[in-house]
Amino acid sequence: MLVDVDKKTVDGTPATTPGAAPVGATAAALATQARPAGDSAPRTDEYAREGAFFGSNVVNLPNGKPAQAGEVDFFIGHRFGQDIKASGFGGLFGFDSVPTVAFSGRVGLTNRLSVTVMRSNFFRSSSDRTPIEFSGAFQVSRQRQSVPVTLQIRGGVEGSRNFHALYRPFLQVIATRTFADRVSVTALPTFAFNTRNEDTVLPPDLLFGNKFKNTQSLGLGVGIRFLRSASIVGEYIPRLHGFRGERKDYAGLSVGLQKSTFRHTFELVVSRQEPMTTAQYAFQGVDTFRIGFNIFRRIR
């Protein structure tokens, strides 16, 4: 080590007395040094979470988190087909079964406007399978000291058979409020159109609300952050009016455990829904729970 007494440097670095800040140290560096030892969890990007909600979704419901101009992120979701109780430990609680998969990418065009494309292998019948969803979102506000809620308007259309049939437009209003950066709640009125498949061969008694062609539902979500980068979340999607689904007449219900590492989020999911596209989760639910997971990653 080279000590320069006149310049007060050690190997060219300004020397300091114990506890003093180095010359030229930045505020960010000092904040990092001053962080308590118990706060050593991986940091999280401000634009990778919305309060207690990490990533882009609660489970299926979007959480209203905005995308910055030029931001690119992606989402991958799995919902395994066999219910947890029926599969048991021998079937690894459903992990051995064939999954419904969805993946999407989102791009921020401006700080307020973003576009998303999603594709899934979900199908109920030969005429209602492999949907592709195109959507856009406009960010009205984001919660801060002078703004009480995060508010987003989202709309789009889903088309089955790789966007060649059975088009289902939808519109959502997403309002999210966070309390003390620990608890977040969200409400999403959703209007989904053309939800009843008129080409289905199912008898009328297996089509609930078959007099209606559209569906109005209300998505409700809550999240509780118990660690700096971990939270438990839940969502409930009751159908308020219109068509209520095929074969089963149950509202969507899901819970998830989210763990974030900066811009990456993994979520273990237990859900009473298989579809992950907006128009379909707005009206479809089942009576058994399936295990699954979500992966969210902000690329830039």
Average pLDDT of the segment spanning 17-46? 47
Residue 210 and residue 214: Cα distance in Å, rounded?
10
Is the pLDDT at 39 greater than 90? The verdict is no
Query: What is the extent of the structural domain holding 229?
Result: 41-298
Query: Does some domain include residue 23?
Result: no
DSSP labels, 221-288? EEEEEEETTEEEEEEEE-EEEE--EES----EEEEEEEEEEBTEEEEEEEES----SHHHHTT---SS
Q: What is the 3-state secondary structure (H, E, C) of 235-247?
A: EEECEEEECCEEC
The phi-psi region of residue 247 (left if phi > 0; otherwise alpha if psi is between -120 and 50; otherwise beta) is left
CATH number of residue 158's parent domain: 2.40.160.40
Query: Does some domain include residue 141?
Result: yes
Asked if 196 and 70 touch (Cβ cutoff 8 Å), the reply is: no
pTM over 0.85, yes/no:
no
Residue 272 and residue 167: Cα distance in Å, rounded?
24
DSSP labels, 185-197? EEEEEEEE-S-S-
Query: Does some domain include residue 7?
Result: no
Residue 189 and residue 212: Cα distance in Å, rounded?
18
Query: Does some domain include residue 2?
Result: no
Query: Does some domain include residue 294?
Result: yes
What are the angstrom distances between the C-alpha of 284 and each of 79, 104, 209, 215? 14, 20, 12, 10
Tokens representing 121 are 């292998």
What are the angstrom distances between the C-alpha of 229 and each of 130, 159, 179, 190? 34, 36, 16, 29
pLDDT given for residue 212 in this prediction: 93
pLDDT given for residue 127 in this prediction: 64
**267-281: per-residue pLDDT in tens?**
999 999 988 999 999
**127-139: per-residue pLDDT in tens?**
678 899 999 999 9
Query: Does some domain include residue 30?
Result: no
pLDDT band for 30, please (50, 70, 90 cuts). very low
Count of the separate structural domains present in the chain: 1
Query: Does some domain include residue 14?
Result: no
Query: Does some domain include residue 6?
Result: no
